[in-house]
Structure 1
């Protein structure tokens, strides 16, 4: 933990400005041993404490990303970006060009959104343009991948002529190093990702990476990745080893350091919108061609409940991935039956009654507003008439749900300002389309308050996890679009974790 004195900073009011007003003018903020110990004008600087002239900049609690796959995010920053690909033919052309330009180099791509493509793809057509070069094209939702035969064989997936989906893909993901020969997600790559996050004001994240575990995090922590706060999640296949090690949610993974701690058990209870595997109460518009017209659960209710119970009795919170409304209801049934604590991850399609149940059970709704930017058109296409229940943030807040924001990086960029902007405007700020179901929009204050790990306006006793902003994020605007555009332009002067500066702009 560190010590720091910030001179003349304005506090961003995240709590009720009537019942808990922030100081009207600039104040000094003193952080000692990682905790805010004094707030007010003209504070004396203790000997040996670093002093930073904030010069009237705005101070808020540090930002959190509540849903990150940090290894995949680190890898995606090095992979071929397929986000602009709009058809199987474009994907094939891209692969053919890359194979020609870099013969012998595996093609690993990420980012395309095949949910709106007019047809299914085949392994055979990818083989035609790739030959003996391994090709893996990971969809932007990370729930399936299009591989050629060489890659399928190398990963031990067996011959087929369709994409690899859901649990089979998740299990194969960590084997990609068989193709690349180098992991690409070592400590240097992680450190680079953490530094980029710190530059955006992020002080902490919940890591839902599929691979690795406590020992791997301890190792990279010792090799320079001790920059931000990290809550490390685990999956069911490692649950018993986590319990045997005595790890509970909140337990430090490194003795004496509360920045790296055990997080929740992660359960992926259904699929995704793009793969049409999210489990819904009603069929997809094109459900007649699907093996499961309404999507399906990834595990039966009794297994879901058993995992919740095992985690809860062992001191672990549970983070349950549930995108479809049927999956959300089943997850809430499991929480109610077991008393487990934790979160519903995504809650992309939800009824007003289940929003109230999330609140009544004391759960957090961990949502990713930037997903609505990509899923808007697909939702209208394959979930017609359900847009008013998609990303229903207003229902959740009005029901008293503890709403927290994240990115699901690499599905969306690890950028809290993109998430906040999308929550406020519910659309891209630089196009001419109207906001999508603006009745569910958040105000800038609500969106920012949902991005700081439920921390209040900075005060005595606050964590010394702070972000100093060059401009007022709650400045008045004439419209939600203008407010969202201003949030997207936010620049960070200083990011502080436990009183220790982890990012400083060149202007400070």
Structure 2
């Protein structure tokens, strides 16, 4: 039986030409949809020898596409120290002390997810706290948002960081009153001074953690991701792909460093592979709100001299965007603060003008994306629409960041995380998780987009006027995300010729209360027509 037919369902296709259907048929070999419609017409199209699967009235949606995730970092979170539950620097230090006790002397103790914004003092922690916990181990702990690295004195010594060390461009070494490093490194350029010294996990362990995370994504109904990481992650995924062990579709958005290789043809973007492709590059315009490194047009509340950090200088940003656009690459620019958004849009506008002047028509794979877009000036929202720039947003950030947005941005918070405004102005939205910074459960993220709160928090909606409709949120997690990856011809809707990737829900999300959206759960996940998780 070379064809699979799913019958007796309630299919929301995300295809405007046929928004709902009862059945679909998928070619087993290609994994693509052969027919979609009512039971009779689909069975006729599939033929008498097709395998029949009865959906028993359950709801089917296109498979969820996470438009912004860091896959390997998410996998590593379960292996390293996880300080998410810690309410003080001392609590983090206790976890370090316990890990150091079972780690050979001199080896690195690594962790993540500490968040000073939830601590009573909210002060930056210092190296002395870690020195007391692990004096004979170098320690490196990434903050929740991944834009701060907290290290001890031994780590600083191994990296050669002293009072005389200059701040690298696009980063900062925090110092005390005497000029000595405090143990906090801000942004990638500074963090890399230490991070480059830490040996990666063994390939065997890395593969194991990665496969466990891929299985968890399938259990969440995710059939495709845009993985924003580096060449090492791509190589690891390529090895799984070669062995037939990559269970979902991955669109790699590489950190900007491989741009010369892409230009020289040493790396191939968009090679025809149904499961793993390089789509483009990511450029950091700034840092984050929680670390107070997001680049701002006006200073942070209570910190008149702090305007954040431009992680990529303006002229360098313009060169990178222009060169990537010439190659018709997808260009994803991390921009959280309103100054970062402006700098990114300036570069995009110049790149578009450059293409016009050289008579080059934009290729079908060229996409401009602003990642996060947590605060943006009204004039730049209009520019986003005019330039066709996609807003790649993560609605759970609005739930998690509400308090610090009010604390650090003051009255500006009222125009933050403005998803509804973007939608109403015709800006294309793609939804994702930003895991491991936040959770990757699409149903909880969609709930956050629709309700502007989390069901477990018990808190009222935050800026409810910026809530998306359920239809808009589901679109952003399916066809909107596919468009953001320049893949709308292959995925994002249940349409003839596209991949048969779908998620099965026990109940119709449009017919239940929002409170039941999260508990509805995932009944089954389908990739290329095949059940890869659950049952129907």
TM-score (norm 1): 0.88
Contact 1:250–1:263 (8 Å) recurs in 2:
yes
Aligned to 1:237, the other structure's residue is in SS state coil
* Alignment of structure 1 residues 147-166 onto 2, 5 Å: 147-154=151-158, 160-166=181-187
Deviations 1:207-227 (A, max 9, x none): 111452654432232245421
Deviations 1:335-392 (A, max 9, x none): 1110273210010112333222212211211011111222111111111112221110
Corresponding residue for 2:361? Answer: none
C-alpha displacement at 1:298, in angstroms?
1.5
**Pick from 281, 304, 320: which aligns with 2:333?**
320
Count the aligned residue pairs: 486
**Pick from 526, 529, 534: which aligns with 1:496?**
526
C-alpha displacement at 1:67, in angstroms?
0.9
* Alignment of structure 1 residues 69-88 onto 2, 5 Å: 69-88=70-89
Aligned to 2:494, the other structure's residue is in SS state coil
Contact 2:9–2:58 (8 Å) recurs in 1:
yes
Note closer, same or farther for the CA distance 1:48–1:267 as it changes in structure 2 (3 Å cut).
farther
* Alignment of structure 1 residues 213-252 onto 2, 5 Å: 214-245=234-265, 247=267, 249-252=269-272
Which whole-Å CA distance do the structure 2 matches of 1:170 and 1:217 have between them? 25
* Alignment of structure 1 residues 319-398 onto 2, 5 Å: 319-339=332-352, 341-398=367-424
Contact 2:149–2:191 (8 Å) recurs in 1:
no
Which whole-Å CA distance do the structure 2 matches of 1:113 and 1:48 have between them? 57
Structure 1 window deviating more from structure 2 (412-421 vs 306-315): it is: 412-421
Note closer, same or farther for the CA distance 1:222–1:170 as it changes in structure 2 (3 Å cut).
farther
Structure 1 window deviating more from structure 2 (434-443 vs 416-425): it is: 416-425
Deviations 1:203-252 (A, max 9, x none): 11111114526544322322454211111122222210122226564333
Which whole-Å CA distance do the structure 2 matches of 1:270 and 1:353 have between them? 20
Corresponding residue for 2:141? Answer: 137
Contact 2:3–2:50 (8 Å) recurs in 1:
yes
TM-score (norm 2): 0.84
Alignment RMSD:
2.6
Contact 1:322–1:331 (8 Å) recurs in 2:
yes
Note closer, same or farther for the CA distance 1:374–1:9 as it changes in structure 2 (3 Å cut).
same
Contact 1:208–1:266 (8 Å) recurs in 2:
yes
Which whole-Å CA distance do the structure 2 matches of 1:219 and 1:62 have between them? 24
Contact 2:207–2:236 (8 Å) recurs in 1:
no
Note closer, same or farther for the CA distance 1:299–1:366 as it changes in structure 2 (3 Å cut).
same
Corresponding residue for 1:110? Answer: 112
Aligned to 2:280, the other structure's residue is in SS state strand
* Alignment of structure 1 residues 118-197 onto 2, 5 Å: 118=121, 119-154=123-158, 160-168=181-189, 171=192, 175=196, 177-178=198-199, 182=202, 186-197=206-217
Aligned to 2:10, the other structure's residue is in SS state strand
Corresponding residue for 1:480? Answer: none
C-alpha displacement at 1:14, in angstroms?
4.1
Corresponding residue for 2:170? Answer: none
Structure 1 window deviating more from structure 2 (272-281 vs 3-12): it is: 3-12
Note closer, same or farther for the CA distance 1:21–1:63 as it changes in structure 2 (3 Å cut).
closer
C-alpha displacement at 1:406, in angstroms?
0.8
Which whole-Å CA distance do the structure 1 matches of 2:403 and 2:295 have between them? 19
Contact 2:26–2:32 (8 Å) recurs in 1:
yes
C-alpha displacement at 1:299, in angstroms?
2.1
Which whole-Å CA distance do the structure 2 matches of 1:456 and 1:88 have between them? 44
Question: Is it true that 1:10 corresponds to 2:7 in the alignment?
Answer: no
